[in-house]
């Protein structure tokens, strides 16, 4: 799953009717050039083995911020496979991205090994096919699919099903041509490029080294998490959680619950002890004592944050925890 972009392959393409339209002008002035009115291509994004739609979005952003680079042309729609991960998550995923994790199928061997090796069965493939067909019908129209790793293999299978069985997103249209395009990506991403950023950040009117990262909760709301050593609290590590002003109100004191496996911590709310935040009428930020948590863990383990009345679960990947620990 690591490395530079290895290959981008495409099955036969027919850009469908949603592409360009010609504005109808004054028929009496037909010699004037008519400017085309373009519409964005909608692309369904299928993630890799035991990752998620959210992780795939982060991976594409790490790849030169690809979605934004072609944002004027394409809109990516990310979905999670219908099966939770049925086994161990690959280390090059779990070390950099928090769950939950999903898979399109799980390949298991059965029977006696023969000349061609063990026979494999792909548990969950049919259900995943039905799931994508349902997404295609209910959330479309889509112009194509981009798949990475297992998602790329799945996209290729869907293209074959369209050709051979006449089913799914790649089933021939009225013209007999495929109704969608496919982009297959393999070995595309270096997860080491996905990291929290430690930089001088203005906090309470001073420039302080801080780790800053934007993360999404399970409701796809975005939060900024800033960890720093506060001179107001004897250089203790403080975690500031920032939401979008006007969208929420954080009441104080409300302790932050942190879970990792079977372990759980409650981080004390320090917001009202910070004069800057206490006088901020927007009430869209909160601060918590991070010291106890950092002193309790000896590994860069994924965490789950819960703040009552605000968000039920905000996954924090290990690479962010690593940055927090480096500040201590």
Choice among 68-77, 119-128, 200-209, 279-288 with the minimum mean pLDDT: 200-209
Give the pLDDT score at 15: 29
297: helix, strand or coil = coil
Average pLDDT, rounded, for the chain: 75
CA distance 105 to 122: 6
- pTM of whole model > 0.85? no
CA distance 25 to 134: 39
Q: State the pLDDT confidence band at 12, using cuts at 50, 70 and 90.
A: very low
Is residue 196 pLDDT above 80, yes or no?
no
CATH of domain 195-327: 2.60.40
End-to-end CA distance of the chain: 31
Work out the average pLDDT over 32-53. 77
Q: Which pairing describes strands 41-46 and 74-79: parallel, antiparallel, or unpaired?
A: parallel
Give the pLDDT score at 60: 80
Residue from 259, 256, 285, 257 nearest 272 by CA:
285
CA distance 42 to 29: 34
Q: Pick the residue with more confidence: 319 or 328? A: 319
Is residue 45 pLDDT above 80, yes or no?
yes
Is residue 62 pLDDT above 70, yes or no?
no
* Strand stretches in the chain, DSSP E: 7-10, 20-22, 36-38, 41-46, 74-79, 83-84, 102-103, 106-114, 117-123, 144-148, 181-186, 197-203, 206-216, 222-230, 236-242, 256-260, 263-267, 285-289, 303-307, 311-316
Q: Pick the residue with more confidence: 91 or 48? A: 48
Give the pLDDT score at 51: 94
Half-sphere exposure of 17 (CA within 13 A, CB side): 4
CA distance 76 to 45: 6
Task: Write the pLDDT tens digit of every residue in 113-162.
Answer: 544 555 668 899 999 999 999 999 999 889 899 999 899 999 988 888 88
Give the pLDDT score at 198: 63
Give the pLDDT score at 73: 85
Give the pLDDT score at 65: 58
Q: Per-domain residue ranges for the chain?
A: 7-191, 195-327
**Contact between 184 and 147 (Cβ < 8 Å):** yes
Q: State the pLDDT confidence band at 164, using cuts at 50, 70 and 90.
A: low
Give the pLDDT score at 53: 94
Is residue 92 pLDDT above 80, yes or no?
no
Q: State the pLDDT confidence band at 64, using cuts at 50, 70 and 90.
A: low
Give the pLDDT score at 257: 94
Q: Which pairing describes strands 106-114 and 117-123: parallel, antiparallel, or unpaired?
A: antiparallel
CA distance 283 to 249: 5
**Contact between 320 and 225 (Cβ < 8 Å):** yes
CA distance 47 to 67: 14
């Amino acid at each position: 799953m690591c490395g530079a972009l290895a290959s981008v392959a495409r099955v036969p393409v027919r850009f469908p009717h949603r592409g360009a339209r010609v504005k109808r002008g004054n028929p009496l002035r037909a010699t004037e050039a008519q400017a085309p009115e373009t519409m964005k291509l909608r692309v369904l994004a299928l993630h890799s083995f035991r990752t998620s739609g959210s992780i795939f979005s982060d991976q594409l952003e790490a790849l030169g911020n690809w979605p934004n680079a072609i944002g004027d042309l394409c809109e990516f729609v990310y979905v999670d496979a219908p099966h939770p991960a049925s086994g161990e998550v690959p280390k090059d995923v779990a070390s950099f991205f928090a769950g939950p994790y999903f898979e399109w199928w799980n390949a298991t061997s059965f029977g006696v090994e023969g000349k061609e090796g063990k026979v494999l069965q792909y548990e969950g493939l049919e259900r995943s096919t039905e799931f994508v067909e349902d997404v295609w019908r209910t959330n479309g129209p889509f112009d194509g699919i981009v798949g990475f790793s297992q998602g790329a293999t799945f996209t290729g299978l869907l293209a074959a099903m369209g050709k051979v069985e006449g089913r799914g997103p790649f089933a021939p249209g009225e013209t007999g041509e495929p109704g969608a395009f496919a982009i297959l990506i393999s070995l595309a991403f270096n997860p080491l490029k996905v990291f929290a950023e430690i930089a001088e950040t203005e906090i309470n009117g001073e420039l302080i080294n801080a780790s800053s990262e934007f993360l999404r909760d399970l409701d796809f709301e975005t939060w900024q998490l800033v960890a720093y050593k506060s001179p107001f609290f004897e250089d203790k590590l403080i975690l500031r959680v920032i939401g979008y002003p006007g969208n929420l109100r954080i009441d104080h004191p409300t302790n932050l619950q942190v879970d990792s496996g079977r372990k759980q911590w409650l981080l004390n709310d320090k917001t009202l002890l910070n004069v800057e935040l206490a006088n901020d009428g927007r009430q869209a930020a909160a601060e918590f004592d991070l010291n106890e948590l950092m002193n309790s863990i000896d590994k860069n383990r994924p965490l789950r944050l819960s703040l009552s009345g605000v968000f039920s679960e905000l996954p924090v990947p290990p690479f962010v925890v690593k940055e927090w620990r480096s500040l201590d």
